[in-house]
Amino acid sequence: MMSCTKSKEVHPEIGDGNDEIVTVGSKDVHLEYTRTDHVELNRVVFHYSLADANGNAQQFEAAEMTKKETFFDLILNDLLCDTLYWYYYELFPNNGDAFITAQKTFHTQACDVPEPPEPPTPPSGAPEGAINGLFTINENGDQVYFSQGNLQYQASSNTWRFAENQWDYVGTQNPEYGEPGGTVPGSDNANISQVYDGWIDLFGWGTSGYHDSSDPYNVNYQPWSTLWSIVDENYNYYGYGPSTNMSSPNLTGSSANYDWGVYNPISNGGNQTNQWRTLTHEEWEFVINSRPDIRYAKATVNNVKGVILLPDDWSSGTYSLSNTNSNDASFGSNTLTVSQWNTLEQHGAIFLPAAGDRTGTSVYFLWGGRGSYWSASYGDDDDYGTVYSYGVLFYETSFAANYWGRRDVGHSVRLVTPAKN
């Protein structure tokens, strides 16, 4: 930059040419200058000055414009925002004396509005393997953290873990085995066995691996148990976890060891026993139906269908979701990329993928048409209490926390850990 004053004579009879201000920003201006008459220019210098309080020009500064094929170009930065500037051009023909154009003005745009601050992240405190969002589970105000993903098991190494991502679930989609919703015998969960070295994530109820020898009907307690592991034809559904012969038929109290997270260390969830547990039927219902404000939304995350659960302190300003608290909404109500989902997860959101279910060694609904998750509560009906247990079920037009599932059927498991108050 150099300073100069306007000393050369203005020659309006030669013509000002085509003076174009391409864009004006808050701190910059883009200009182009093209001659419209016979004069061929060798150089063009742009002169500009701040206006004073009365709108008059002050000291002019100069900036050399770049010669292009048919015009001269200049992008001037470091201007003041919301400010009036005076300007003119100094023109240098190939032949003859230099001359200047008439003065004009431009006004820079309003000063940039500062970007709004990022919403505050939830307070720290979530343990290893947990998503940092608090969920109230009863009228007493008790809160829990959900695990980072669905529970998975490898029989060959007797290892339990949480899925790496919330949308992850075991199973391969193989179009050769029928339409969506049909069985997929090639999926990993269909290879369930005591020696299988793959991962499974669809479990019969209460199949933590714990065995109480005093209960004659408790024979299907292993994670790889299937419908065909029976005592006799009358009791083929008994024995998945505690039975009604025991003092606590739920996965709680004296029968808590039948809960996957109580009895087993989770390798990426603290790796100690008694750190995690399954929500009871009443607690699932409270999380889904009884908390205030925005509680859940059907969604597709990273091309996986499922349900988003939102923490107690969720703000709609963090991310706008459609059809919230609507159990008959479709999975297409909200479609999120991984990047968009990361924003929700950072603020405590939980995603339950529609991971299908398993009967014996047949797996169903791996295309995401259905999600089913166990609770810790057995079905308390006089006729069916020993056959069924409660769970959460959702599909395209439904979301219910009072679902009854047959104990031998493999459902997903999502564990929680208590928040330390």
Q: What is the CATH number of the domain that holds 10?
A: 2.60.40.10
pLDDT of residue 19: 74
For residue 168, give both structure tokens.
Answer: 């992850």
Of the pLDDT bands very low, low, confident and very high (cuts 50, 70, 90), residue 118 is: low
Residues 152-161, mean pLDDT to the nearest whole number: 96
Structural domain contains residue 142: yes
Structural domain contains residue 115: no
Residue-wise pLDDT tens digits, 35-44: 766 678 889 9
Looking at per-residue confidence, does 169 or 9 come out higher?
A: 169
In residues, how long is the chain? 421
Structural domain contains residue 113: no
Q: How many CB atoms lie within 10 A of CB 52?
A: 11
- pTM higher than 0.75 for the full model? no
Residues 128-149, mean pLDDT to the nearest whole number: 96
Residues 88 and 206 placed together within one structural domain of the fold: no
Of the pLDDT bands very low, low, confident and very high (cuts 50, 70, 90), residue 359 is: confident
CB 390 within 8 A of CB 236: no
pLDDT of residue 240: 67
Q: What is the distance between the alpha carbons of residues 420 and 268, in angstroms, rounded to a whole number?
A: 19
Residues 97 and 163 placed together within one structural domain of the fold: no
Structural domain contains residue 116: no
Looking at per-residue confidence, does 70 or 74 come out higher?
A: 74
Looking at per-residue confidence, does 412 or 14 come out higher?
A: 412
- The residue among 107, 125, 143 that closes a domain is 107
Q: What is the distance between the alpha carbons of residues 179 and 175, in angstroms, rounded to a whole number?
A: 7
Residues 95 and 152 placed together within one structural domain of the fold: no
Please count the structural domains in the chain: 2
Inform me whether the pLDDT recorded for 15 exceeds 90: no
Of the pLDDT bands very low, low, confident and very high (cuts 50, 70, 90), residue 120 is: very low
Residues 355-384, mean pLDDT to the nearest whole number: 81
Inform me whether the pLDDT recorded for 292 exceeds 60: yes
Cβ burial 139-175 (10 Å sphere, 16+ → b, else e):
eeeebbbbbbbbbbbbbeeeebbbbebbbbbbbeeee
Of the pLDDT bands very low, low, confident and very high (cuts 50, 70, 90), residue 309 is: very high
Structural domain contains residue 369: yes
Q: What is the distance between the alpha carbons of residues 243 and 22, in angstroms, rounded to a whole number?
A: 79
pLDDT of residue 265: 97
Nearest-CA neighbor of 14 among 128, 96, 125? 96
Structural domain contains residue 361: yes
Residue-wise pLDDT tens digits, 188-202: 888 888 999 999 999
Burial (CB < 10 A; 0-12, 13-18, 19+), residue 84, is middle
- The residue among 88, 107, 126 that closes a domain is 107
Kindly compute the dihedral angle of the four CA atoms of residues 121, 125, 129, 134, in this order, to the nearest 10 degrees. Answer: -70
Residues 396 and 262 placed together within one structural domain of the fold: yes
Looking at per-residue confidence, does 360 or 19 come out higher?
A: 360
Residues 373-382, mean pLDDT to the nearest whole number: 81
Residues 395 and 349 placed together within one structural domain of the fold: yes
Residue corresponding to tokens 């024979």? 219
Residues 96 and 225 placed together within one structural domain of the fold: no
Residues 201 and 78 placed together within one structural domain of the fold: no
Inform me whether the pLDDT recorded for 379 exceeds 80: no
* Structural domain span for residue 47: 2-107
For residue 268, give both structure tokens.
Answer: 């990426």
Structural domain contains residue 123: no
Residues 39 and 175 placed together within one structural domain of the fold: no
Residue-wise pLDDT tens digits, 84-110: 999 999 999 888 888 888 899 999 988
For residue 180, give both structure tokens.
Answer: 């969506």
Structural domain contains residue 321: yes
pLDDT of residue 41: 87
Residues 280 and 149 placed together within one structural domain of the fold: yes
Residue-wise pLDDT tens digits, 216-245: 767 788 999 886 555 544 444 445 677 666
Residues 226 and 319 placed together within one structural domain of the fold: yes
- Ranges 229-233, 259-263, 271-275, 400-404: which has the least confidence: 229-233
Residues 102 and 154 placed together within one structural domain of the fold: no
CB 354 within 8 A of CB 370: yes
Residues 70 and 195 placed together within one structural domain of the fold: no
Q: What is the distance between the alpha carbons of residues 346 and 303, in angstroms, rounded to a whole number?
A: 19
